[in-house]
Amino acid sequence: MALAATSSSACLRRLNPLLFSASRRPAWPPRRAARRFCAAVVASERDVFTSPEVAKSFDFTNEERIYKWWESQGFFKPNFDRGGDPFVIPMPPPNVTGSLHMGHAMFVTLEDIMVRYFRMKGRPALWLPGTDHAGIATQLVVEKMLAAEGIKRTDLTREEFTKRVWEWKEKYGSTITNQIKRLGASCDWDRERFTLDEQLSRAVIEAFVRLHEKGLIYQGSYLVNWSPNLQTAVSDLEVEYSEEPGHLYFIKYRVAGGSRDDFMTIATTRPETLFGDVAIAVNPEDERYAKYVGKLAIVPLTFGRHVPIIADRYVDPEFGTGVLKISPGHDHNDYHIARKLGLPILNVMNKDGTLNDVAGLYSGMDRFEAREKLWSDLVETDLAVKKEPYTLRVPRSQRGGEVIEPLISKQWFVTMEPLAEKALHAVEDGQLTILPERFEKIYNHWLTNIKDWCISRQLWWGHRIPVWYIVGKKCEEDYIVSRNAEDALAKAQEKYGKSVEIYQDPDVLDTWFSSALWPFSTLGWPDLSREDFKHFYPATVLETGHDILFFWVARMVMMGIEFTGTVPFSYVYLHGLIRDSEGRKMSKTLGNVIDPLDTIKEYGTDALRFTLSMGTAGQDLNLSTERLTSNKAFTNKLWNAGKFLLQNLPDKSDATAWDALLANKFDTEAALQKLPLPESWVVTGLHELIDRVSTSYDKFFFGDAAREIYDFFWGDFADWYIEASKTRLYHSGDDDSASSMAQSVLLYVFENILKLLHPFMPFVTEELWQALPHRKQAIIISSWPATDLPKNSLSIKRFQNLQSLIRGIRNVRAEYSVEPAKRISASVVATTDVIGYISREKQVLALLSKLDVQSVHFSESPPGDANQSVHIVADEGLEAYLPLADMVDVSEEVKRLSKRLSKMQSEYDSLLARLNSESFVEKAPEEIVRGVREKASEAEEKISLTKNRLAFLQSTVSS
């Protein structure tokens, strides 16, 4: 970053995180990419670009052609010619099964903005792309494909099935990548990675072995989220909860040794789990059940099995009946209570969702079938109290949609506490900055309360767990962890003899395990001598959604510190979710999903990207067609501005004119002071804009940057300066210097606006850039505009006065319905100083206010016909008088206003009559009454204004 450090650098570093990035990497070996970066770009010769001179509007179909040209030129690769510390972003790898949705569009947009900005700033920029093998999702897709052929996965061997998955991946796995390219992602695609690539797979095995050697990986039976259909454990992130109608079942539990009236009623949503009850719990302060604490309860339909009645503060006496059945084998909360109190764990369910032998007569029944049968039997045995409707929070598999079952299962786990401690210190010590800062609290909460991580999955697609068991030995006691089968066999033979037989653990690793290594496995780890690892690790920024801060980001931090000794990136930028125009989450059920590819076809990639970038970090963004339409219009406005420039610049073959035009520089105070007022104003505004926008980019305030550029381009440059420049271009007479200066300013401001906008809107800015004559390189690799350029603050104030005067005249013309083409006269009254600079811009004033330039007069005192003119006060010391006779037929206007006033008065009287009616005020809805009052107030104000105007007109007639 090209800013000098100051005494406030510590503060700036927090706000401007990439400004003072320490150079942690050795200098890159000298190498050149002359073909890529020095080749002149001639649009007409390449048949890549289209000029506004020949096209009415920007053609979205050109975007793919431009993208392929960028890629073919090698512009996406990091270039070290300009030196600087590399800027590195590892792409969050989308699932290989995925297709583009707005979440992808959001992360691609934000990451591409970053990488394009820092590429233009001169830093070697690497955006490293890739895809995730997505264990469960991919296996499901292929199983469904096989099912269509009448084949079950179990009909095939593991090798045959994985071969079919690889075939599917080779055929369809590039879909998401091609769609991401459609968004303009300037990734180095030659470095694209896949989590099952040979090198990344080697990294996964190495990580498992090292963690196991340190005693951080172990095997055990614990409660996990179990998918009966998929027959695998799933992570918390892959479980989605939905509100669904169900029932709350009230069941009697008799107290052992008591009378028939001694029973406790429990309320449960899953009565089939009662076979796994190991205790009945009540709150110790609940007086209703105090007499039963310490006794035993009989679990219904279990042939008299007894469980203790205990007291625990966890129990909510207000929920249900205040009595809680403890089924630790089938409920996460119950599991933690049982672990805390030392209660046994009882599992009543098979892995396919049927009940096991513990359920007695219900053994073999599906869990939901058993629920209905059990309730029927409870009713028959008078143990059922009642069943009432209840809204359930049902855990469903994100992949398969089935109901997830909490189930005890033998799995592999990572001990997380020692890893989490280092990751917490990384944020506390400032090694890692999380943006927005408020997410640090969530990060700290999760890592402070972390649980061990279940990393095994019962799938065939993924990284096979590098554990081998000994035939004839118990798995829990005799196993070998090794990097490959040959080494495992050698170890087994050394311990058990040459005749030993081994077999590998059938499970695979959780997909999140491999993606936790992503920032360094993609760069060659564990081979620390790899050039990419030495020069691009650690990364600079990790950008992703705030919803996976724990599941992915925190795990990458932990693994990065554990295996490389440093945090894997310096900054985490978290974006929000994309919602519809009403703020609802997009879903197929609601029918409010907006497809990015359809959006691109209708509005263009640039409009979509610009819309997505307008959000605030960490905040959800409501996406509407109105916003997209507005930003499509912005694209058109840029195009039309480019068309205007090209029509008014010298012919590109006119070397003399172009030498003169390009000789004009605006980077010194002296040069700025020589400019006429509109030129000095717009150049100063541009220089201020560059500073503000650059600061916003550095702080990751992309929405602020986008709004600043939008407002300056549309409000200042297009609406004001382009219009003002026409007086130089079309009305300068023989003054070629004025025309040439205007051309220089137009080109200078426009090309810098294109640069500022390029990270947001890469396609239209490149197209327009290539259309401008004498471009020596593509905008994507052009230099970012210099900051701290000179400003003329006086020109800002003076031009604002001119603007106020022009707006005042325009408002009067509108108020009096003056025909647009009609030129009127004006007397401008001001102090000597103001007259000096306003009169020099008489042509601009006349053009933008539609005045007759020959009838614009300047003086220090009001004109003689002031009483017959409309008086405008533009600013202190700046006024204008517009003769009424120039604008309207006064007598006809008096008649028109009198008629209008009469109608307005009638409408106002009608509103007052309603408000004076007690029946209306008392009986009508409050919002209706409020609406009538507001209309009456508005009508009263309009009547007052019309009376004043009418009185003024009548006074001019009488005088």
Closest CA to 292 of 256, 266, 250, 328: 256
| Domain 78-216+415-466+505-616 top-level CATH class | alpha beta
Question: For residue range 19-71, what is the model confidence (pLDDT) as tens digits?
Answer: 333 334 434 433 333 333 333 344 444 578 999 989 999 999 999 999 999 99
In this structure, the strands spanning 323-326 and 405-414 are unpaired
pLDDT at 4 (0 to 100): 33
CATH of the domain spanning 624-791, picked from 2.30.30.90, 1.10.8.100, 1.10.730.10, 3.20.20.70: 1.10.730.10
- What is the fold, at CATH topology level, of the domain defined by 242-404? Isoleucyl-tRNA Synthetase; domain 2 (3.90.740)
18 has pLDDT over 80: no
- Cβ count within 10 A of residue 307: 22
| Lowest-confidence region among 169-183, 445-459, 614-628 | 614-628
CB 89 within 8 A of CB 561: no
Contact partners, residue 321, CB within 8 Å, separation at least 6: 250, 264, 265, 266, 267
216 has pLDDT over 90: yes
- Higher-confidence residue of 216 and 917: namely 216
Closest CA to 135 of 3, 232, 7: 232
Closest CA to 192 of 532, 508, 527: 532
In this structure, the strands spanning 456-457 and 125-128 are unpaired
Rounded average pLDDT over 79-107: 91
Please give the angle made by the CA atoms of 474, 480 and 481, to the nearest 5 degrees. Answer: 135
Rounded average pLDDT over 598-609: 95
Cα-Cα-Cα-Cα dihedral of 792, 796, 797, 798, to 10°? 90
Report d(CA 514, CA 457) in Å as an integer: 13
- Please state the domain extents for the chain: 78-216+415-466+505-616, 242-404, 468-503, 624-791, 797-888, 891-957
- pLDDT class of 589 with cuts at 50, 70, 90: low
Contact partners, residue 272, CB within 8 Å, separation at least 6: 348, 355, 359, 362, 367, 370, 371, 374
DSSP string, 492-533: HHHHH-TT--EEE-S-EE-HHHHHTTHHHHTTTTT-TT-HHH
Distances (CA, A) of 169 to 96, 202, 337, 410: 7, 20, 44, 30
Question: For residue range 158-210, what is the model confidence (pLDDT) as tens digits?
Answer: 999 999 999 999 999 899 999 999 999 999 999 999 999 999 999 999 999 99
CB 75 within 8 A of CB 127: no
423 has pLDDT over 80: yes
- Higher-confidence residue of 481 and 915: namely 481
- pLDDT class of 732 with cuts at 50, 70, 90: low
Closest CA to 882 of 806, 784, 942: 806
Amino acid at site 307: V
Q: What is the mean pLDDT of the chain?
A: 90
Question: Is the torsion defined by CA of 793, 797, 803, 807 positive or negative?
Answer: positive
Question: For residue range 819-832, what is the model confidence (pLDDT) as tens digits?
Answer: 889 999 999 999 99
Contacts 24+ apart (CB under 8 A), 493-499: 496/470
pLDDT at 892 (0 to 100): 72
pLDDT at 959 (0 to 100): 56
Question: For residue range 769-804, what is the model confidence (pLDDT) as tens digits?
Answer: 999 998 889 999 999 999 999 999 999 999 999 999
Rounded average pLDDT over 501-514: 95
pLDDT above 70 covers a percentage of the chain that reads 94
Please state the pTM of the whole predicted model. Answer: 0.84
- Higher-confidence residue of 308 and 621: namely 308
851 has pLDDT over 80: yes
- Cβ count within 10 A of residue 168: 18
Rounded average pLDDT over 744-767: 98
| Domain 891-957 top-level CATH class | mainly alpha
Question: For residue range 545-579, what is the model confidence (pLDDT) as tens digits?
Answer: 998 898 899 999 999 999 999 999 999 999 988 88
Contacts 24+ apart (CB under 8 A), 582-589: 582/622, 583/620, 583/622, 586/101, 586/102
User: 858 φ, ψ to 5°?
Assistant: -125, 135
Report d(CA 787, CA 792) in Å as an integer: 15
pLDDT at 6 (0 to 100): 34
Q: Which tokens hold the place of 421? A: 């401690």
Question: For residue range 372-415, what is the model confidence (pLDDT) as tens digits?
Answer: 999 999 999 999 999 999 999 999 988 778 899 999 989 999 99
Question: For residue range 874-928, what is the model confidence (pLDDT) as tens digits?
Answer: 988 899 999 888 877 677 777 778 888 888 888 888 888 888 888 888 888 888 8
pLDDT at 852 (0 to 100): 94
Rounded average pLDDT over 226-240: 86
Q: Which tokens hold the place of 86? A: 């590399």
